[in-house]
Each structure stands twice: as structure tokens, then as C-alpha cells.
């Protein structure tokens, strides 16, 4: 290999590392927020919404005067102390500001007319995805109840806090004999409870696709799988193992049958990135550059040697953990229902569609590179794997230490 080509590949590796270094460590889950809303009706023209909102975002957004606002001071002090009683007390002490913010950004309509909100009880505290959440119950009096369809609109977060890039609102409902779920975001902030099944399908398909596309750690794990595969059969088997594994735990966790703390799941996801990427580097070191050419070894079953089968088992095990991370994007705690299961499956289909699209685009490029420039291909995949492995280790340390 010429010195010019080596310099080019080193520059490419440096660019990959620079790009990864600019990506904040929790980009997959930490810089988007999720609001959870459950809507029910009592039959007397009143709809009840049970809202779960990320506590620190609610405090910052509701404190109009910034750092000098009493809610901001009391709320952030309670947040830093990790005292859930103090957190609820801070919101209750400044109830008008907190509830006023929510009801300006979240609304319910009936028959095209606005419903009037009224808070029910005090703020409560809980946890979702490993962070404190405030629980607020609102009753909405709808003058036009029964005269038309109900609509839900959410524009909660991001606001002046600046470090949240987007919010999705997961709505589950049981109103007037209709049950279902919907996913709202800035591009699609509202929905009608009488929406068709095709509209519900598209919402959760889009949500799953966007979750994988914006989940940097899941994308890097997929890149590590692609870079470490030598032929189509190998990448297909790896992707299938990953899909089967994360589909199982995704459904179990989203349905509440498996509950693993996010503080454990997130570091393991980061570690999985480093391990799968590092595996390819180990193969380069142990077998030499020829072993990384995009061709199958001889005398093996399904195109995999012993190391390939071990890698496949590792991918499957880490896929189980990634499924818990995917489930954290929904956090639905409704009881078992076919409607809920349908929404979860569509969300998973959205994830798989993007995953297959990425493989279909990138892996043929590596195949072409391996055939045209067989000596260059190992350096390209090695540089990519090295960058991914380094970033996985950095995220692992940051997530373990909480930095």
C-alpha cells in the first residue's frame, strides 16, 4: 500500500474520531425527551389526562424568569439533591407556574371546541428511563362532549433550556369505547382519537424509524456489525440475530414483563459497541489482513468459522440489551391489549426498516471496495472499527461514572 493511501486512510480515521467526539455521549436517549399521557373519559363530559413529564425540563421551562425565578431555584436544588419529596414540594409551591406552562402547551378539544383544564391532586414523582419524572393529573371539562371527536395536541418541550433537540409525546387512550395509542412530535403535534388504523400505523412506524436514525449508539453498533462482516451471508446472519434478540426483549420490556434499570442498560449498550467493533480489530491482528477480505472462509457451516459463530452469539446477547433500550423509547405501562401490542410491533417494524436500509446501502459499498482494492479494504474497515470502538469505550466510562 502506498504512503499516499495510508495517509488518506489515517485522515479518514481521524475524521471519524473527530465526528464521534463531537457527538454527545447520550445522543441516543439523553437529548430527546418523552412525555407520557394517558387519556380516559368518565362519561359526563370530562376527560382525564395523566401526564408524566421530565422533572428538570418542566422546572426550567416553567420558570419564566430564568435562574432568579423561585421555582427554578427550588426545583434545581431539589433535583441536584435527588430528593423526590422536595421535588414534588417545589412544583406544588409554584403550582400556578408549573400547571400554567403545561396547559399552554398541552390541550384537549371536543367537537372542535376547547376543553377547560383543572388540576387534580398534588404533583407526584416517579422515574422513567432512569431520570425523575413529575406526574400531573388534569381533568378537562368539554362543553362539546358527545358533539364530535376528541383531539389531543402536545407542544411540550424543547424550550429556552436549549439542550433538548426534540420531544415526543406517547399517548394512550380509552375514550368512548375507543382504545389505542399515538405518537406526537414537533412535526405531528396533534391527533384525533377517531384516527384510522393506517394513521396509527404510520405514526408508530415513523417513531421507530426516527428512534434508530437519531440513536447514535444503535447506529454505531450497526456500523460495527457491517464493518466486521466479510460477505452478505455473514452480515445477514448478524443482523438477523440482532433483530431476533432485541425484538424479544423489546416486547417483554415495553409490556412491563421485564424491568431493567436504564442505569444498567445504557452502559452495557455502550460497551457492546466497543466489543463488537473491537472484535473486528482482533480478527485483523490474529489472522492478518487477508482474513478481513470480503470473502467467506472455506470449510465452514453457513459461511462462518468458529470465531464467526462466537461473534454471532455475542451479537445476540448484546441484541437482548439493545431491545431494552428500544423499549425505553416508548415506556408504555398500559395493561396488556392487542392494540398496545400492535403499536409496539409497528414501532419495531420502523426500527427494522431503517436497519435494513442502512445495511443495503453500506455493505455493497464495502463489497465493491474489497473486490476493487482488496489491500485497502481492511484499512478502511479497521479505521472505522477503531473509531467506533473508541467512542463506545468513552460512552461506557461516561455512563458508568455519570459524567
Which residues lie closer than 8 Å to 202 by C-beta, 6 or more apart? none
Which residues lie closer than 8 Å to 230 by C-beta, 6 or more apart? 292, 293, 294, 295, 296, 370
* pLDDT bucket at 294, cuts 50 / 70 / 90: very low
State pTM to two decimals: 0.62
How confident is the model at residue 308, as a pLDDT?
Answer: 72
Domain ranges of the chain: 3-28+215-401, 34-195
Looking at per-residue pLDDT, the higher value among 316 and 164 belongs to 316
Looking at per-residue pLDDT, the higher value among 148 and 57 belongs to 57
How confident is the model at residue 326, as a pLDDT?
Answer: 74
Residue 76's SS3 state is helix
How confident is the model at residue 145, as a pLDDT?
Answer: 55
Of the CA atoms within 13 Å of residue 338, those in its CB half-sphere come to 2
**Quick one: angle between helices 3-22 and 377-401, nearest 10?**
20
* pLDDT bucket at 167, cuts 50 / 70 / 90: confident
* pLDDT tens, position by position, 347-386: 888 888 888 899 889 888 888 888 888 888 778 888 888 8
- Top mean pLDDT of 14-23, 104-113, 279-288, 367-376 is at 104-113
* pLDDT tens, position by position, 197-240: 777 788 788 878 887 887 788 888 888 888 878 778 888 888 88
**Quick one: angle between helices 55-62 and 95-105, nearest 10?**
100
Residue 96's SS3 state is helix
**Residue 224 and residue 382: Cα distance in Å, rounded?**
10
- Top mean pLDDT of 106-110, 163-167, 174-178, 298-302 is at 106-110
Query: Does the pLDDT value for residue 339 go beyond 70?
Result: no
Which residues lie closer than 8 Å to 103 by C-beta, 6 or more apart? 117, 138
Residue 369's SS3 state is helix
Residue 375's SS3 state is coil
Three-state SS annotation for 103-137:
HHHEEEEECCEECEEEEEEEEEEEEECCEEEEEEE
**Residue 181 and residue 173: Cα distance in Å, rounded?**
6
* pLDDT tens, position by position, 35-79: 999 998 876 778 999 999 999 889 988 886 566 688 888 888 898
Find the angle CA(284)-CA(290)-CA(294) to the nearest 5 degrees. 95
How confident is the model at residue 291, as a pLDDT?
Answer: 43
Instruction: Give the whole-number percent of the chain exceeding pLDDT 90.
Output: 16
Residue 49's SS3 state is strand
Q: What is residue 298's DSSP assignment?
A: S
Amino acid at each position: 500500500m502506498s504512503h499516499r493511501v495510508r495517509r488518506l486512510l489515517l485522515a479518514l480515521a481521524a475524521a471519524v474520531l473527530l465526528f464521534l467526539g463531537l457527538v454527545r455521549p447520550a445522543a441516543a436517549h439523553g437529548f430527546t425527551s418523552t412525555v407520557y399521557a394517558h387519556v380516559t373519559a368518565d362519561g359526563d363530559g370530562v376527560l382525564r389526562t395523566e401526564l408524566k413529564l421530565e422533572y428538570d425540563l418542566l422546572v426550567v421551562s416553567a420558570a419564566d424568569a430564568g435562574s432568579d425565578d423561585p421555582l427554578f431555584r427550588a426545583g434545581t436544588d431539589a433535583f441536584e439533591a435527588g430528593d423526590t419529596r422536595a421535588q414534588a414540594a417545589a412544583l406544588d409551591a409554584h403550582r400556578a407556574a408549573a400547571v400554567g406552562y403545561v396547559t399552554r402547551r398541552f390541550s384537549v378539544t371536543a367537537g372542535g371546541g376547547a376543553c377547560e383544564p383543572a388540576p387534580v391532586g398534588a404533583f407526584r414523582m416517579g422515574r422513567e428511563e432512569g431520570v425523575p419524572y413529575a406526574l400531573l393529573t388534569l381533568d378537562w371539562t368539554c362543553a362539546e362532549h358527545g358533539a364530535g371527536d376528541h383531539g389531543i395536541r402536545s407542544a411540550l418541550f424543547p424550550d429556552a433550556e436549549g439542550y433538548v433537540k426534540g420531544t415526543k409525546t406517547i399517548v394512550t387512550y380509552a375514550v368512548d369505547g375507543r382504545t389505542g395509542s399515538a405518537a406526537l412530535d414537533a412535526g405531528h403535534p396533534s391527533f384525533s382519537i377517531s384516527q384510522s388504523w393506517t394513521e396509527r400505523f404510520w405514526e408508530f412506524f415513523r417513531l421507530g424509524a426516527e428512534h434508530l436514525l437519531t440513536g447514535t449508539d444503535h447506529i454505531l453498533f450497526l456500523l460495527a456489525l457491517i464493518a466486521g462482516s466479510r460477505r452478505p451471508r455473514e452480515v445477514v446472519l448478524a443482523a438477523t440475530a440482532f433483530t431476533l434478540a432485541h425484538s424479544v426483549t423489546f416486547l417483554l420490556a415495553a409490556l412491563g414483563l421485564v424491568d431493567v434499570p436504564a442505569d444498567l442498560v445504557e452502559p452495557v449498550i455502550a460497551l457492546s459497541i466497543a466489543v463488537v467493533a473491537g472484535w473486528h480489530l482482533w480478527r485483523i491482528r490474529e489472522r492478518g489482513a487477508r482474513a478481513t477480505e470480503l470473502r467467506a472462509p472455506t470449510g465452514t457451516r453457513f459461511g462462518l468459522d468458529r470465531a464467526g459463530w462466537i461473534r454471532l452469539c455475542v451479537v445476540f446477547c448484546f441484541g437482548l440489551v439493545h431491545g431494552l433500550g428500544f423499549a425505553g423509547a416508548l415506556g408504555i405501562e398500559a395493561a396488556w391489549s392487542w392494540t398496545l401490542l400492535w403499536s409496539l410491533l409497528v414501532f419495531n417494524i420502523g426500527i427494522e426498516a431503517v436497519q435494513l436500509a442502512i445495511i443495503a446501502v453500506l455493505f455493497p459499498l464495502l463489497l465493491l471496495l474489497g473486490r476493487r482494492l482488496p489491500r485497502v479494504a481492511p484499512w478502511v474497515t479497521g479505521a472505522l472499527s477503531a473509531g467506533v470502538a473508541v467512542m463506545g469505550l468513552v460512552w461506557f466510562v461516561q455512563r458508568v461514572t455519570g459524567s
